Amino acid sequence: MSNKLEQLKALFTEMELAMIAYSGGIDSTLVAKIAFDVLGDRALAVTAVSPSLLPEDLESASTQATFIGIAHEVVTTREMDNPNYTANPVNRCYFCKSELHDTLKPLANRRGYPYIVDGVNADDLQDYRPGIQAAQERGVRSPLAEVGVTKPEVRQIAQELGLPWWDKPAQPCLSSRFPYGEEITIAKLQRVGRAEMYLRRQGWQNLRVRSEGDTARIELPPEQIQEFVVANDLPELVEAFQAYGFLYVTLDLEGYRSGKLNRVLKAV
């Protein structure tokens, strides 16, 4: 692991100045940490805010940036204004990352940052991630992927560097909760966000609330399903979700699987 960490440090040493597309997830947090350790105030973390980001996740990103010491700024992206995005096609993430980097690049140019980097890791390259193409088209660099750092290695390096969030569950944008082809609206994003925060406050952290029409489908790690059913006041949970706007509430018996909604692509 020390060899890959040294390679990452060398990359930032060569860059001299870098802007980090910083979501607050463990991947971009690790990149921000290494960038700051090498570049100090010549590194800047920038978080994009839109309806697909929970306010609580923005707060978490800010807290982590303060812990690291890196300068942190926020920009607003408007992917919800793009019908190609809200129609939720299979390449929705392409339009999201296009908007992100079309927002970051002018900022980087104005501030004199020659490089924008993101938190894409080596494992991401093996998955269906159309957003990666959008970033590559705009010259964004992915240090973790360049060095061949996998997701488990990201967590290991983060732990070795003393980041308290090294085991933070993945938390992609809220738009990933909808099956392809179902229109995404701000109201739907808010409904899903409130439902997930309700469960987080109950102590369930690694989860998804998938939205399919008027139905909420809760996904938890398989080993937690039985405990979830026993520990929760289910009528109270259903009442809360219905207050958020769902008509029906279900529990996925298979359990949480990253990228589950991409199965439809394989089927086709």
The predicted-structure confidence for 170-211, as pLDDT tens digits, reads as follows 888 999 999 999 999 999 999 999 999 999 999 999 999 999
pLDDT at position 1 is 65
The answer for residues whose C-beta is within 8 angstroms of residue 120's C-beta and 6 or more apart is 27, 129, 132, 135, 142, 144, 145
Provide the residue ranges of all domains of the chain, joining segments of one domain with +. Answer: 2-160, 174-267
pLDDT at position 171 is 85
pLDDT at position 266 is 60
pTM of the model: 0.92
Rounded Cα distance, 84 and 86, in Å: 6
pLDDT at position 267 is 55
pLDDT at position 188 is 97
Q: What is the CATH number of domain 2-160?
A: 3.40.50.620
Strand arrangement of the beta sheet that strand 43-49 belongs to: 71-76, 43-49, 18-21, 116-117
Q: Could you tell me the mean pLDDT of each successive run of 10 residues in the chain, 268 residues long? A: 91 97 97 98 98 93 98 98 97 97 97 97 92 97 98 97 93 93 97 96 94 97 96 96 98 85 63
Rounded Cα distance, 11 and 27, in Å: 16
Q: 174-267: which CATH number, 3.30.70, 1.10.3470, 3.40.50, 3.30.300?
A: 3.30.300
Do 2-160 and 174-267 come out as alike in CATH topology? Answer: no
pLDDT at position 82 is 97
